[in-house]
Structure 1
């Protein structure tokens, strides 16, 4: 997992509401435990036409959106089943952050464990950002802020442990492993008592 302190990117807009995890990554692609390669199946049934060609109307197929790392999504993003493949697919697609007015709890937690930052802002703010997808936004993980080019600053909730993991680029197990010496010292003194 790659950590980050700041992210600067324009946005891809997906205004639909109630985008569930089966729309993010359809169940037929869940037979793998590999994260790499899932990005080609993200939003599969919307991105690809019946003949396998790209749907030119879908935002991720539009050339101007190539390389963008922020998704502005409609309310209730990531609802549905708890599949961890959903954030895997979005991260493999190149996304680092999802911004919505409502993000499902299980999807949110799975995202944070996989280096994908879910940001919840008021609906009016999200709608305003959706009208300006070419604005370069700055997401500051350390400050818990999203900044727009017009000088607007929007703070977002992010618990301290998730923030630390994102900044250090580690998941929960990786965090523990980096504290191996502290844990060993504690265990030695606890055992001695």
Structure 2
């Protein structure tokens, strides 16, 4: 992990999104400010952790540090496109921290447009592997979105969202072929509007 205390002004805010490639449901983002140096043992990119490890770290981050969630809806994804919707979710997460300023470490290459000038931004490719605040944000956003998709799966049981979180697994594509999309599918995505070609 790289040194993150050097960024000014304080506080340093890690932000990451999840669900950008999903075929259904909102895109989520989390913003995290780490309050102290006692970090969870398994703090790293959420994709490198087991579900059990993610939940353990999620609970510790929420208990010990400052956390906020933002999302963009399926309707906003259709209206804005997924890239802008993802940055909107990240902005909402940052604003949810209710801070007057800070230095935002953004996972990826894309800066967050319309973020107030009081927030500096540094984009970091694979930031969830290198900077603890981004790693924490990746875990918070992943666990939160997975839990929501499991709840939504109870309303739309045909698609197996409790297992695939809306992503384009073979079983999800098969369910789309057999049942068609529901109102929470992203119909602007080719795999949803034309599932028969995949």
What interval of TM-score do these two structures reach, taking the shorter chain for normalisation?
under 0.3
Q: Structure 1 length as normaliser, TM-score?
A: 0.24
Greater fraction helix: 2
